[in-house]
Amino acid sequence: MTVQLIFILGCSSSKDTANTAQPASEPSTEESPTEEPSSEPDVVTDTSSSEPASEPIGPYVSARIATDTHLLEYAPEETVDNPFRGFLTNYDWSEPANDLPHSLEFRYLPLSSVVLDENIYDYTVLEDALNTAKDRGNHLILRFYLDYPTLDSGMPNHLSNVVSCTPYEDYGGGCTPDYENPDLQSTLLSFIDDFGLNYDGDQRLAFIQIGLLGFWGEWHTYPHTDLFASDQVQQDIITAFDQSFSTTPIQLRYPSQDSSSRNIGFHDDSFAYATIGSTAWFFQPRLEAAQANLSWQNSPIGGEVYPALQSLLFTEEYTIETHQQDLQLCLEETHASYLLNYFAFSGSGTGYTGAQKEQAEVFSQGMGYQYTITQIDIVRSNLEDYLLDWSIDITLSNEGNAPSYYPIALNLSWNNEIYELQQVQDLLPDTTTTVSFSLNDLPREQAQMPFELFLNSDFALPEQQIKLANTSSSTGSVLIHDPIFCAYEGLDVELGETVDFNGLLCTCDVDRQLYSSDGESCSP
């Protein structure tokens, strides 16, 4: 028989329940359909009342077990708008010129924009950045800086005449502050503490890059290495961020000091230029040397496609060489969840177009998590009169290149209730898990109802949806409707209903066959 697979836009509302799974939030405000189209064949709902039986009928009791297996289609293109992953741009540089999908955006902010004086903070500028990103349906990735070549200093005003700086002409010029100044150190540590108190776990933030030190807040002053912060200052900054942020993931440019032993991710700002290979200072070899190459399993990896390469990606001009590296191999080795790629959105006034844009969308889908349901087994058993046992086993796989770094739950919407089945964010790439849900002594009418499976996260923005990588509707939720019927003289008998078959009372059982009360098959 052919089982109908339906995808819908919404689900029913949630309410408290004492069943085995916990209620979860709704994927949408629309209701799930609970009926099939009227084109279904005629159904026998109670023929025993219209066809007198030859003998009284007692309760029908059966120990039969039947499993219906649904194999679902993998559709990675459905996940292109999922949050916390993919290509992104910086709206501060310009608005995107195309419609390349994205759910993240990046922002630099000078420390002086929020630190007004020692222990005096004004987050108005940050709030504006967070809210405008949210209004666009995006999470923000943020980095504060003190020294950004070509731009005015990000030094707070109360320190401008207290902390000395050394001018340089590289990268357009600037002035590197004296990171050993105790007043600057005190200001930095106090700010990090207050920043964490106010913004750790903020729903509008995706990731925070531990900037502040070095050119662009990128933790280097190359080629003037003597101007960079001492080991102790570096360690103090790392420790302060780690202690201040326990929910919002934090990232560092390099695996400096003891960062590899902490729950800290890393960002490669020269992605595909100096990412993989045997050169010691390249990003991945550096992580391996610090034993941080598996940090992606718990903390996010990201970064920026090297600016000079951005226009060449996904074109015939992009040929593999030492500083023009295999983009897919870079992604596979680093497990990056996001990449800043300004040219893809706005370069040449158009951003990527045509085939270049199409290939970029496909590549973007491969970043980060990507959960897909490969199989659903519906098990029905122990039919007794109008009750039976019902369970489902859901095989879920992560086909992405990284886990999620925020909680994501798989949920079941069924019979006007929503159940949180399992948190799935720890599922690593190319691994599967089986999620089970069961109910005993279920009224047969409820066992015939459709059910919906969907993902959600409390950290997704209201406008965002976390879609399964399965052929689906706009919400990315999957609805299965697989009611049980038994064939009888060209009609369909519902599960648990009884018909008179040549003077013998026969009941439709879970295996879609008719049986008498003593268990004999009623098939001709």
The 10s digit of each residue's pLDDT in 489-506 is: 888 999 999 999 888 899
pLDDT digits (tens, 9 = 90+) for 214-232: 999 999 999 999 999 999 9
Phi, psi for residue 297 in degrees, rounded to 5: -70, -20
Q: How far apart are the C-alpha atoms of 427 and 442, rounded to whole Å?
A: 31
Position 517: which residue type? S
Confidence of residue 58 (pLDDT cuts 50, 70, 90): low
Is residue 249's pLDDT more than 60? Answer: yes
Confidence of residue 29 (pLDDT cuts 50, 70, 90): very low
Q: Specify which residues 372 forms β-bridges with.
A: 397
Confidence of residue 386 (pLDDT cuts 50, 70, 90): confident
Higher-pLDDT residue of 20 and 86 is 86
Q: How far apart are the C-alpha atoms of 180 and 226, rounded to whole Å?
A: 12
Residue 259: both structure tokens together = 């960062």
Confidence of residue 13 (pLDDT cuts 50, 70, 90): very low
Sign of the Cα torsion 28, 249, 244, 121 reads negative
Q: How far apart are the C-alpha atoms of 423 and 421, rounded to whole Å?
A: 7
Q: Specify which residues 515 forms β-bridges with.
A: 507, 521
Helix (H, G, I), strand (E, B) or coil at 411: strand
Confidence of residue 11 (pLDDT cuts 50, 70, 90): very low
The answer to which of 9-13, 359-363, 415-419, 492-496 has the lowest mean pLDDT is 9-13
Helix, strand, coil fractions of the chain, as percent rounded to 5:
20, 30, 50
Q: How far apart are the C-alpha atoms of 289 and 108, rounded to whole Å?
A: 29
Q: Where do the domains of the chain lie, and which CATH numbers do they carry?
A: 5-77+370-516 (no CATH), 83-365 (3.20.20)
Query: What are the strands, taking DSSP E only, across 95-158?
Result: 104-110, 115-117, 120-121, 139-147
Q: How far apart are the C-alpha atoms of 424 and 409, rounded to whole Å?
A: 6
Start-to-end CA distance of the chain, whole Å, equals 19
Q: Specify which residues 371 forms β-bridges with.
A: 398
Length of the chain: 524
Burial 257-294 (b: 16+ CB within 10 A, else e): bebbebebbbbbbbbbbbbbbeeeebbbbbbeebebbe
Helix (H) or strand (E) holding 232: helix 231-244
The answer to which of 29-38, 107-116, 366-375, 475-484 has the lowest mean pLDDT is 29-38
| Cβ neighbours of residue 215 closer than 8 Å, sequence gap 6 or more | 147, 148, 149, 171, 174, 176, 221, 222
Q: Are residues 328 and 364 in contact, defined by beta-carbon separation less than 8 angstroms?
A: no
Strands 5-6 and 478-480, by their bridges, are antiparallel
Q: Exposed, middle or buried: residue 194 (CB in 10 Å: 0-12, 13-18, 19+)?
A: middle
Is residue 138's pLDDT more than 60? Answer: yes
Q: pTM for this one?
A: 0.86
Is residue 23's pLDDT more than 50? Answer: no
Confidence of residue 17 (pLDDT cuts 50, 70, 90): very low
Cα diameter, the chain: 104
DSSP 119: T
Higher-pLDDT residue of 360 and 517 is 360
Q: How far apart are the C-alpha atoms of 196 and 249, rounded to whole Å?
A: 11
pLDDT given at position 133: 98
Please give the mean pLDDT across all residues of the chain. Answer: 90
Closest CA to 112 of 142, 144, 72: 144
Closest CA to 375 of 67, 2, 71, 75: 71
Report how far Cα 237 is from the mean position of its chain's Cα atoms: 29
Helix (H) or strand (E) holding 182: helix 182-199
